[in-house]
């Protein structure tokens, strides 16, 4: 139970990779809050699961594109559990499309959720974290590997996440807070299948291990970075991609 007495906040934690992270952090001892936008039934199910196992969880409806919502989610976590030790910036969206007709609205929304929302959550969480705090961003191998047209904006936002992680390691390090970037590859989620559509099977064939990853496999790396054994790891971008980008 490496995270006993720790409190974590996971943005976008009601489904997909985020839900796997919420469950994993709870399983190793953390009290966990998580945000969701619309999937209230899924969020309630996760809370019940955790409480039935004797854990504590809080679901917070919050849109990562809304600055006030993000700040409020951080404050609600601290008010409910008394502290904040771990932030996992998982919330993200993808709006595929070629640049020739890509709308400014889609561009702004992608930047608002994938970059600005992550930045605001990190800024707010850092106000409450003590030495030993952990910030873990969920980026993507798309930041440096994009073999499919129509995903340039998503790749750009995830490149920003990787760069921000490196820079903030210098800002946060003197306070004893680490920040790292987990870069999943082709993980079998609703987001992946919606983004790739008919190209999903080709993407699976391009993975070195010839399968999609699972949310639990990403959550395992997040759990390591959240724990005491990762105290000397910061500013890193770490791939979980089955060799897709090799």
Catalytic positions, please? 154
On the CB side of 189, CA atoms within 13 Å amount to: 24
Residue 24 backbone dihedrals phi, psi, to 5 degrees: -65, -45
Q: Which helix (H) or strand (E) holds 134?
A: strand 134-138
Q: Region of 57 please: left (phi>0), alpha (psi -120 to 50) or beta.
A: beta
140 class by beta-carbon count within 10 Å (0-12 exposed, 13-18 middle, 19+ buried): buried
CB–CB of 99/146 below 8 Å? Answer: no
Task: To the nearest 10°, report the CA torsion of 214, 138, 226, 27.
Answer: -40
Q: What is the CA radius of gyration of the chain?
A: 17
CA gap 228, 101 in Å, rounded: 47
Size (the chain), residues: 246
Q: Which helix (H) or strand (E) holds 35?
A: strand 31-36
Instruction: Tell me the two tokens of residue 237.
Output: 């971008």
């Amino acid at each position: 139970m490496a995270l006993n007495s720790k409190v974590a906040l996971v943005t976008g934690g009601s489904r997909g990779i985020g839900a796997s992270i919420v469950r994993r952090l709870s399983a190793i001892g953390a009290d966990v809050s998580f945000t969701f936008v619309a999937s209230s039934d899924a969020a309630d199910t996760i809370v019940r699961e955790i409480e039935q196992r004797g854990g504590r969880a809080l679901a917070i409806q919050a849109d990562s594109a809304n600055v006030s919502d993000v700040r409020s989610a951080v404050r609600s976590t601290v008010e409910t559990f008394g502290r904040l030790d771990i932030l996992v910036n998982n919330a993200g969206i993808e709006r595929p499309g070629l640049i020739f007709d890509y709308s400014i609205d889609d561009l702004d929304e992608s930047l608002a959720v994938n970059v600005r929302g992550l930045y605001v959550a990190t800024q707010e969480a850092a106000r409450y974290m003590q030495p030993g705090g952990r910030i873990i961003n969920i980026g993507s191998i798309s930041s440096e590997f994009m073999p499919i047209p129509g995903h340039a904006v998503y790749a750009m936002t995830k490149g920003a996440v990787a760069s921000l992680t490196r820079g903030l390691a210098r800002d946060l390090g003197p306070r004893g807070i680490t920040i790292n970037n987990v870069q999943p590859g082709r993980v079998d989620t609703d987001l992946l299948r919606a983004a790739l559509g008919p190209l999903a099977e080709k993407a699976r064939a391009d993975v070195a291990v010839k399968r999609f990853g699972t949310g639990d496999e990403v959550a395992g790396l997040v759990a390591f970075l959240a724990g005491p054994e990762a105290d000397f790891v910061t500013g890193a971008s770490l791939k979980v991609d089955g060799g897709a980008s090799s």
